[in-house]
Structure 1
Amino acid sequence: MQGNLNEIDICSILQLIELGQRTGELFVEAYSSYNHSITGNADGKSFALRNSKSLKQSWFIFFLNGQIVYVIDSDSSLSRLRDYLCHYQLETSLDRIVISSLVADNAPEYGYLWALLEHHILTPAQGRSIIQGIVHETLFDLLSLHQGFFIFDRGPTLAPQLTTFEISSLVRKIMKQVQEWKQLHPHIQSPSQCLAIADFIQLRQALPEATANNLEHWADGKTSLRQLARYLNRDILTVAKAIYPFVKHGWIQLHYPAMSATTKPKGLQLAPEAKIPYIVCIDDGSVICKAVESTLKLHGYEAIGCNNPLEALSLVFQFKPDLILCDIVMPELDGYELCAMLRRSSIFRQTPIIMLTAKDLFIDRVKARMVGATDYLTKPFADSELLMLIEKHLHLDNNFSRQQCGVIAD
């Protein structure tokens, strides 16, 4: 089962999976865009810039006999799980945990959650609460989609299972919340918006002192509504409704994560003690290997290219790179096989792996996700596309200048 979301909606897809009592994985990919403003001062004059940003998002939903087991999104980091652990003051516990070997390669977040349970850091009740929150917030996003692609693949689901969720009752509840969310527009538009206090005096007068202090702590201009909901262990609609009156009065402002309006220095800028990211590019085409290596070195990265996939496997274990670029179609060992092999090693479970492909078929992207790939890049691609994707997955905050004119092709 596969198709476009403008032909069948997520709600109907979930109902079909429930009615058929199917076990397997649903992959969904969509693009979302938003406008955000940048304000500042230059030469004594204030300015405001508006910029439109497009985000590619993807999700995996795991089913067992027509019920939801777990969901993962395109963010390969553990930031979401860490946010939920913050509610129990356990966010630092992830730093000393080894991922469970029982969990599928393409769901490391679930593996870490199970490791916390196995080490008795989390109780089963806390684990179920976190999974419920993750499933709830993901379905809220998915049921708000109108465009995108999906594919359902039958097969084994994640194991073991701590809990499962009946689709019908959950979807009914969340669909109602999606409709209520729309009533908060235009004052509140997205769970990704960050909070900032515009008039603390008015808030102090309207709120109890403890509540005002807590709000001052979280409304730092960097914490999003979604993060706040995770910290408080509340659904996004409850949090949004609570702050809505203050947003409407202008006492709290909401904005999308800010982009810096300052000019960035050429090259990757890191603190003197910071480790320079090391990247390995694996592609049987020597031209693209050299081109990628040259581009990355020009922008301050440590990089090496290898056009033999078998030699590359040894190279990767030797250097333990921070990010891996891997072609899909290669002799002896293709990119899917190589990616799956790396994901089976605990060393590379969290390493971003970006697949390079000359194909742009949805099924190829799904297959890449299913073997544990973090993202993909279609050839030919511009230097700026490559650098932007690397920056995204290494969380480097745009600290390099992008060369806009170069194009890398097979």
Structure 2
Amino acid sequence: MSPSKNQWQFYFFEGKLTWIDGGVHSNRIWLRHIIKYFSEINIDTMKFSPEEKYQCHQYQIIKTILQKKLIDREQAQKMIASRTQEIFCDIFYEENQRKLAIKIIPMTPQQLLAAGFEPSLVITNIKELLQESQQSYVSFIQQGGVSFSFNYAPFITNKEALKHEVPPHIYENFVQYFNGQNTIKNVAFKLDKDLTKLALSIIPYLKTNTIKLGQIEDLPSYVTVDKYFSNSHPTQVAVKKTAIACIDDSPLICKMMNTIVNKAGHQFIGINEPLQAIPQLIRAKPTLIFVDLAMPVINGYELCNQIKKISQLKETPVVMLTGRDFMAERVKAKVMGISDFIGKPIVEEKIMNAIEKYAK
């Protein structure tokens, strides 16, 4: 039986925490972590065992992509630990609102194995995760935070008043994201902002009723990563401007970039096969090219070197996308004539800034 939105099920394997199921916005938490940790994997197109076969379908997805060697064990454990820590924060909030009951349902190791759990994926640092979650909640309260859930969705009640209270660029973000459809957690994630700082920043506007908070439902379990990312940006610009290309072997990254580029009003050209990129770029004549650094067969630097040798493309700005955002990489990119360097996971605001700066 699946837990309700106000219940959590903890699974322990030989005394060690393996997984937490249920809780508030469990699907939203799941999708955020998929985008953050597994953005290179096109999970939407993968086939998994039927959901009813196992007790925790999300856990089985992690286990499956680990078995397929699309991620390593460390990546899986990091994702599970991060997700667990976020759930702990939700539990601390709920604990301050009501008395939580605990019900223990014993399961033998054999039953856990039959349910699809993997002993090697147990969480080994549960004490640290609990302490960090509690400290985060206490710190928020001590800094002037009030007791509201980060799963609430802010919405503006008086745009004119707000316009005179905040700088223009902040006002634009508020109008775009504080629409009653994005939780505080989602806004922080999309803008790549510290969650606590973002929550603290809106408290003055809550006190003046310029902004209010509302409760929203979790997303359905069948919502894909692609739909989640697309639906979070419903406003599209009708008139297309110039073309912008993205060369990345991950279809998911290209889908995300497609959503952002279209929203900015540009035509999108997604290229998943880097060896076929040059002919497509020559035909499309994009005004800006995003290139993934780590690709099979040919890496981003090698591809950029080829681009710069083509007369029709040599003046086109190239922005490198990478999960390896190191100073040495930035220096090398600068030497090779690469215009900018954006770290993964994909953050809309950073991509939008690059488009505004380079897509002329």
Which one has the bigger helix percentage?
A: 2
TM normalised by structure 1 equals 0.40
TM normalised by structure 2 equals 0.44
